[in-house]
Structure 1
Amino acid sequence: MLRTLDIRDVLLIDHLRLDFQSGLNVLTGETGAGKSILLDSLGFVLGWRGRAELVRSGAEQGEVIAEFDLPADHPAIAILQEAGLPVGDELLLRRVNTADGRKTAWVNDRRVSGTVLRDLSETLVELHGQHDDRGLLNPRGHRQLLDEFAGHGSALSDLRVLWQARSKAAKALAQAETQFAAMRSEEDFLRHAVAELDKLDPQPGEDAELDATRRRMQGAEKIRDDLARAFGILGMDGAEGAMSDGMRWLDGIAGDADGQLDEAIAALGRAVTELGEATHAVERVLDNLDFNPSELEAIEERLFAIRGLARKHGVTPDDLGNFAEEMRTRLGTLDAGEGDIARLRKELKDADAAFTAAANALSDARKDAALRLDQAVMGELAPLKMERAVFTTALEAAEPGPEGIDNVSFTVATNPGAPSGPLAKIASGGELSRFLLALKVCLSRETTGVTMIFDEIDRGVGGATADAVGRRLARLASDGQVLVVTHSPQVAALGAHHWHVQKSVNDQGQTLSKVMPLGTSERIDEIARMISGDTITDAARDAARALLSAQ
């Protein structure tokens, strides 16, 4: 509910603070007094499109502040939370327009964009009137209004889930078919690559191991001959044999040398032992270097094959194994692709059938609800002196979507036999206002926590019809808040709170608009003025009292 509206330096207003109440708030005043300025100011702070220049002449900037009460379940809270704005039981909107055209907005003292303001405004205020292109006159919202009237919220939630499942199934099928088509185009390559890789069967680390073995074999060929010559010189046919013979000779004559050869024999024995160990070490190396030349050739051929295949596929030799597994997986996917696509097609068919059944059921429910809404609106039109008009909620087939398969539009025919068409194009100003009021009365039970504003919705009507308009506005306001700009004394008399808008010239020659709350006696005079014009007669006051007492 709109609690206060504070306006500074906007058009003809220097400073004005209005404290609104729940129920029906009426604003009256002579034509040109500035009633539209209040709506322009409220629209400005809510981020609506409006006049380009709002700053009062001579002022540096114009400012509007609007304060709303927010119950705990108000839909504006979700918008505040999503935008990271403070949340409480009050909502403070502030917007400034500088003389050079710059506009800045705050919500609960935090800077925000115009988009956030407009999103909030959708949950805070409804404007109804001849130029209402945001609400009931906007065909894009008619389906939602019909669903709210019929209480289709649960069915819509279920339908959105089914649509998401259908969309997910369609996307999965499309991706699978695209991948399958791409893989089918490279099937020959995949099969050849997998066969080639499977035949070679490269192992992780094999390239480095083969390369080391090859280098060792290639080095062995260079040193083997020298090792063999060294082994021959050191072995029994060489130094080791000669030293052994020398020891035998010395041993044979040692007894005759009186111990003089003992030291030589001992040293020679140690040398023979060391030489033997060296000979055996050289022999072991020779044994390790003993290989079949064809083995080196085989190693080189496999090493070249691994490296050639790696270059062919643009991977490192160590990654060939992983690449082979990837190729096998792709080939397996290709082989299983037709089965997967068949399964995905069935899933899409089932999801589509479930969605279609639910969408058809909702469409049937909408048709029933449309008839009920038409009857309800027609029942409201008769007291508004439009009993000959015909209101129809038209349903047409639409492209399937998360909201179903229907387009919904409200159409009217102002006279029997006349062609029907959109509200805004068929009805005149006064008729349009009454159509909107009748429709809003029928839809109002679905409105929660929204301030409704009716801008001269009683235009072109008077007498009993104006009284019917006023009573319906009062009914709308019984559980909420309604602001109505009116020229009708019958409507004004039904207001729970009355505001008078007037224009005057101050001592400096400036024209300013003022808004005054009216007490009982002041209210009688204002309603009398609305009845009789500039000259307020006693008869007009009596008529005003009669209107007020009849409420």
Structure 2
Amino acid sequence: MLRALEIHDILIIDRLALDFRPGLNVLTGETGAGKSILLDALGFVLGWRGRAELVRQGAEQGEVTAVFDLPEGHPALAVLDEAGLPASRELILRRMNSADGRKTGWVNDRRASGEVLRRLSDTLVELHGQHDDRGLLDPRGHRAILDAYGGLEAERQAVRDAWRARAAADKALEAARLSLDAARAEEEFLRHAVAELRKLAPEPGEEADLDARRRMMQGAERIREDIAQASAALGYDGAEGAMANALRWLEGASDKAGGRLDPAISALTRAMAELDEAARGVADCLDALDFDPHELENTEERLFAIRGLARKHQVAPDDLAQFASDLGARLDALDHGAVEIGALEQASRKAAAAYDAAADALTAARRAAAKRLDAAVAAELAPLKMERAVFATEFETAPDGPDGRDTVTFAVATNPGAPSGPLNKIASGGELSRFLLALKVCLNQAQGGGVTMIFDEIDRGVGGATADAVGRRLRALAEGGQVLVVTHSPQVAARGGHHWRVEKSVRGDTTLSTVIPLLAEAREDEIARMLSGDTVTDEARAAARALLAG
């Protein structure tokens, strides 16, 4: 609900503060008094595109602040959360327009773009009037309006889910076909390369192992003779025999040496153990260097084969095994591609059939809702003195999409036998106003309201009983919510729960507009003025009292 609107230095308004209330809020005043300026100011703070120059002449900048009360779960809270803006039950929008044209907006004292303001406005306010191109008069929104009226969210969600599933199935099928076509284009290469790689069967890390083995074998002959001589020198005919003899001789003499040889015998014993370990290590090395000459040839052949294939396919030798696996997978896809594509084609057909069923169900539900809507609008048109007019929801087939395959347009015929056409092109000013009101009453009953509705001279061109019927419907529409109406009709003004008069005055060389809240007696005077003009007669006052009492 719009709770407050403050305007500073906008057009012919210097300072103005309005406190709006729930129910039907009525603004009246003479033509040119500035009623439309209030709507321009509200549209400005909501980010709507309107007049280019709003700043009052002589002022450096203009500013508008709007305060809304948000019930729990209001859609505006989700917009705030998505935009990263602070959210509370009170929403304060403020926007400034400098004299040089720069516009700056705030939401709850945080800077915000015009786009964020417009997204918020879609959840806060609906403007309805003869020049309304944002709501009911925009054919692009008629399908969504019908869906909301019919409560078709579940059917729409089913279509969206089926659309996504169909798109995913079609994408998978197309990818498989492209992959198969690419594989067929390189089939000869794949078969030759896979056969060659599978025959070689390279392993990760094998190239480094083969290179190390090759180097060892190439150097084995050069070092084997030295290692063999060292082995002989360590053996029984060398150091081992000499040390064994020395140990035997010392042990034989130790009994007569009085223990003086014991440390030498112990040291020699340890030395022989170390000597034995060294001899075993040298022997192991000799065994490792003992290889078949053909082994070196085979090692070199495999090493060169791995390196050659790696260069041929422009991959690192260690990546050759994975490359072979990848080529094998592509060849397997080629060999089994027809089977896979057949399965994907079946899945695509199944997804398409599911989408067709969901879209057909949504179309049927829309047509049923359209019949109810057409009947409801017809019932509303009769009290508005348009019982001979025809309202019809028309369908055309649209390309398949996530919201189904229907184009929905609200069409009207103002008289029996007259051709029907789009709502915004067939009806005259007064007729259009009543069509919009009847439609909005029906939609509001189905949707339960939730936004502040503004009607800008929607009663233009009607009077008498018809204007009274318009007023009564506006009052009913405002029950449990909030409606603002700018009107020249006394019958409509009399139905308001809260009434303001917009006045224009001249101070020196400056024209200013102001808004005055009207209580009982002042309200009677205003409605009498609307009935009789500048001169308010007793008869006009009596008629005003009758309207207010009715």
So what's the TM-score if we normalise by structure 2? 0.88
* Alignment correspondent of 1:493: 494
- Answer with 171-180 or 20-29: which moved more: 171-180
Q: Give the corresponding residue for 1:259.
A: none
**Closer, same or farther in 2 for the Cα pair 1:59/1:279, shift >3 Å?**
closer
1:180 Cα deviation from its structure 2 partner: 2.1
Aligned residue in 1 for 2:481? 480
Q: Distance in 2 between matches of 1:529 and 1:99?
A: 38
Shift, 1:334, TM fit:
2.7
Deviation, structure 1 residue 358:
1.6
* Mean Cα deviation higher: 83-92 or 130-139: 83-92
- Change over 3 Å in CA distance of 1:473–1:227 after alignment to 2: closer
Does the CA-based 8 Å contact 1:183-1:334 persist in structure 2?
Answer: yes
| Larger deviation, residues 411-420 vs 132-141 | 411-420
Conservation of the 8 A alpha-carbon contact between 2:454 and 2:483? yes
Task: Give the 5 Å matches for 1:261-340.
Answer: 289-340=289-340
Partner in structure 1 of residue 261 of structure 2? none
Contact 1:23–1:479 (8 Å) recurs in 2: yes
Q: Please list the CA deviations of residues 48-102 of structure 1 after superposition, one character each: whole Å capped at 9, or x if unmatched.
A: 0100111111111111000111000211111111112122111111111111111
1:503 corresponding residue in structure 2: 504
* 1:183 and 2:183 correspond: yes
**Cα distance change, pair 314–504 in 1 and its aligned pair in 2 (3 A):** same
Partners of 1:231 and 1:283 within 8 A in 2: no
Structure 1 CA distance for aligned equivalents of residues 510 and 317 of structure 2? 90
Instruction: After TM superposition, list the pairs within 5 Å mapping 1:275-424 onto structure 2.
Output: 289-424=289-424
Report the equivalent of 1:455: 456
Instruction: Give the structure 2 partner of residue 159 of structure 1.
Output: 159
Tell me the distance in 1 between the aligned counterparts of 2:375 and 2:279: 118
Aligned equivalents of 2:234 and 2:520: distance in 1?
138
Aligned in 2, Cα 1:303/1:501: closer, same or farther, shift over 3 Å? Answer: same
SS at match of 1:310: helix
Change (3 A) 1:295 1:383: same
Q: Which residue of 2 aligns with 1:516?
A: 516
The residue aligned with 1:18 is 18
Secondary structure class of the residue paired with 1:203: coil
Partners of 2:352 and 2:506 lie apart in 1 by 69
Question: For residues 150-173 of structure 1, what are the alpha-carbon distances to aligned partners after superposition, in whole Å with 9 as ceiling and x for unaligned?
Answer: 111222122222222222222222
Q: Which amino acid aligns with 2:450?
A: G
Change beyond 3 A, Cα 1:35–1:303:
same
**Structure-1 residue corresponding to 2:471:** 470
What corresponds to 2:539 in structure 1?
539
Correspondence 1:191-230 to 2 at 5 A: 191-222=191-222
Contact 2:160 2:403 in 1 (8 A): yes
CA distance in 2, matches of 1:61, 1:158: 50
Q: Which amino acid aligns with 1:325?
A: S
Once the 2 structures are TM-superposed, how far is the Cα of residue 205 of structure 1 from its aligned partner?
A: 2.2
Q: Percent identity?
A: 66
Aligned residues between the structures: 517
Shift of residue 146, structure 1, vs aligned partner:
0.8
Deviation at 1:112, TM superposition (A): 0.7
**C-alpha distance after superposition, 1:2-46 (max 9, x if no partner):** 000011110010110110111111110000000000000000000
Give the match for residue 255 of structure 2.
none
Q: Deviations over 1:131-163 (max 9, x none)?
A: 110000011110111111111122212222222
Q: Which is worse superposed, 218-227 or 397-406?
A: 218-227
Partner of 1:96, secondary structure, is: strand
The alpha-carbon deviation at position 191 of structure 1 amounts to: 2.0
Q: Is the 8 A contact 1:234 1:279 kept in 2?
A: no
1:112-127 alignment, distance < 5 Å: 112-127=112-127
Q: Which residue number corresponds to residue 248 of structure 2?
A: none
2:231·2:283 contact (CA, 8 Å) conserved in 1? no
Cα distance between partner residues in 1 of 2:14 and 2:234: 122
In the aligned structure 2, how far is the partner of 1:40 from the partner of 1:223? 100
CA distance, structure 1, for counterparts of residue 506 and residue 286 of structure 2: 123
Describe the SS at the equivalent of 2:384.
coil
AA matched with 1:25? N
Q: CA–CA distance in 2 between the matches of 1:420 and 1:45?
A: 38
Whole-angstrom distance in 2 between the partners of 1:226 and 1:493: 123
- In the TM superposition, what is the alpha-carbon distance from 1:406 to its structure 2 partner? 0.7
The answer to whether the 8 Å contact 2:47/2:118 transfers is: yes
* Structure 2 CA distance for aligned equivalents of residues 122 and 231 of structure 1: 96
2:155–2:361 Cα contact (<8 Å) kept: no
The one-letter code matched in structure 2 to 1:140 is: R
User: Structure 1 segments of 4 or more deviating over 4 A?
Assistant: 221-228, 230-236, 276-290
Task: State the 1:387 CA deviation.
Answer: 2.0
SS in 2 for 1:47: coil
Paired residues for 1:57-136 under 5 Å: 57-136=57-136
Q: Aligned to 1:51, what secondary structure does the other structure show?
A: coil
**CA 439–213 in structure 1, closer or farther in 2 if over 3 Å, else same:** same
Supply the AA of the counterpart residue of 2:388. Answer: R
Give the 3 Å change call, closer, same or farther, for CA 526–206 of structure 1 in structure 2.
same
Unaligned runs of 5+ in 2: 246-267
Q: Deviations over 1:472-524 (max 9, x none)?
A: 11111112111111001111111111110010012x43110010010111111
TM-score of the two chains, using structure 1 as the length reference = 0.88
Residue 136 of structure 2: SS of its match in structure 1?
coil
Letter in 1 for 2:296: L
Partners of 1:15 and 1:301 lie apart in 2 by 96
CA RMSD of aligned residues (A): 2.6
Could you say what secondary structure the match of 1:411 adopts? strand
Helix, strand or coil for the counterpart of 1:53? coil
